[in-house]
Amino acid sequence: MAGRLLYLASAAFAQYTAAVTLDSLTTHHVDPNSVSVSGFSSGGFMAAQLGVAYSELFKAGFGVFAGGPYDCGRDQDFTTCLFNGTPSIEKPLVNMRSWSGHQIDCLCNLKQRKIYIQAGTADDVVGLGITTLLEDQLSHFALPSNVRFVTSDGAAHAMPTDVDGQGNSPCDESTLPYIANCGYDGAGEVLKWFYGERLKPRGQGPLSGDIFSFPQIGMLGAPGLAETAFVYVPKKCQHGRRAVCRLHVALHGCGMHFEQIGDKFLVNTGYNLWADTNEMIVLYPQTTVDNGTYPTWSGNLSNSNACFDWIGQYGESDWKIGDHMRAIVNMVKTIIGRHSKPGSSIRHSTLPFDEEL
């Protein structure tokens, strides 16, 4: 079919570490109203940025595991937004209101968005007080009934799950790979918050589909992003099938990129098991170590820990034009087939629900 790239290998491919490689990211039948994002730590800060700045695109909502307020690092040193700091959200709130409908999408959209926030009570990297300030900030724009704030007793800085994944960290220690069995299915809970009772129970594995790798280059790339990223596509959502699928973006934290921890974020978090039974595609953008020095809002810094950018390192990080946000959004638009960039080989979907952005 014109504009749709064929998969290069069969669905029988099961090894994550040898993910099937795509020549480029592929368009799928996706309901544009189903797009959501969640992330952990710097990926959590990024999920909040995407949910706020691109609220027209992330219509199903956004989830933040151990992340802080939007625009936290611009007018105060970013380290104030970490550890047990007490950042101010006054200037960020003023900024949000002045940018609404310009540098960022209209804040009015947030009234309709589902928002999920999770924090560990023993997290000393992004403390409970900081996640609470994110909730305070968003409460100015969101409906209280649409916001869910969850605390995990005794949990340190870790993406919480309810299974023992290979190589996981202990729940009460803030250490790589920052994924831990805390007796709480974070991926499942955030997805249930977005999609509600319509979700079927998670799969038990093995997965029906494949984790595909694709080049995170050109309009899908940016400094600080790796050359390769991943997407899980359940069998029912693969090329030629009729299912209309959902799309979720899952963002890892600093040091949790594929080059550092391998497939642990792709596998141990459990997103794919939920995706498998619920016709959901999961996009996993990837960072990389960038030892170059860049001016940020907090002075000249490198990105030696491979973080998603919320400190003004790669352009205006929390505006729509921020390098990392723009690349991730281009991936989303490519998957849903509504990329309008001139010269793109991706054609628009012809499904009846599709309309131009």
Ligand X SMILES: *[C@@H]1O[C@H](CO)[C@@H](O)[C@H](O)[C@H]1NC(C)=O
Report, as residue numbers or ranges, the catalytic residues: 41, 123, 157
Q: Which is nearer to ligand X, 173 or 227 (CB)?
A: 227
Q: Which is nearer to ligand X, 166 or 300 (CB)?
A: 300
Q: Which is nearer to ligand X, 293 or 345 (CB)?
A: 293
Q: Which residues contact 318 (CB under 8 A, 6 or more apart)?
A: 49, 52, 53, 70, 71, 74, 104, 310, 325
Closest distance to ligand X from the beta carbon of 315 (Å): 15
Closest distance to ligand X from the beta carbon of 294 (Å): 8
Alpha helices in 160-319 (DSSP H): 186-195, 258-261, 264-267, 271-277
Which of 291, 342, 343, 356 touches ligand X by CB under 6 A? 291
Distance CA 37, CA 89 (A): 23
Pick from 53, 32, 19, 20: nearest CA to 315 = 53
Site string for ligand X, 295-334 (x = CB under 6 A): x---xx---x------------------------------
Q: Which is nearer to ligand X, 257 or 333 (CB)?
A: 257
Which of 11, 243, 244, 289 touches ligand X by CB under 6 A? 289
Alpha helices in the chain (DSSP H): 42-53, 90-99, 128-138, 186-195, 258-261, 264-267, 271-277, 323-336
Distance CA 97, CA 76 (A): 18
Q: Which is nearer to ligand X, 10 or 300 (CB)?
A: 300
Distance of CA 74 to CAs 12, 48, 128, 291, Å?
47, 15, 21, 21
Closest distance to ligand X from the beta carbon of 323 (Å): 17
Closest distance to ligand X from the beta carbon of 306 (Å): 9
Q: Which residues contact 70 (CB under 8 A, 6 or more apart)?
A: 48, 49, 52, 92, 96, 134, 137, 138, 318
Whether residue 62 contacts residue 46, with contact meaning beta carbons closer than 8 Å, is answered with no
- Applying CB under 6 A, what is the total number of residues that bind ligand X? 6
Neighbours of 7 (CB within 10 A): 17
First to last CA, the chain: 23
Closest distance to ligand X from the beta carbon of 38 (Å): 27
Q: Which is nearer to ligand X, 219 or 289 (CB)?
A: 289
292 binding ligand X? (CB under 6 A)? no
Closest distance to ligand X from the beta carbon of 76 (Å): 16
User: Helix, strand, or coil here: 144?
Assistant: helix
Query: Which residues contact ligand X by CB under 6 A?
Result: 289, 291, 295, 299-300, 304
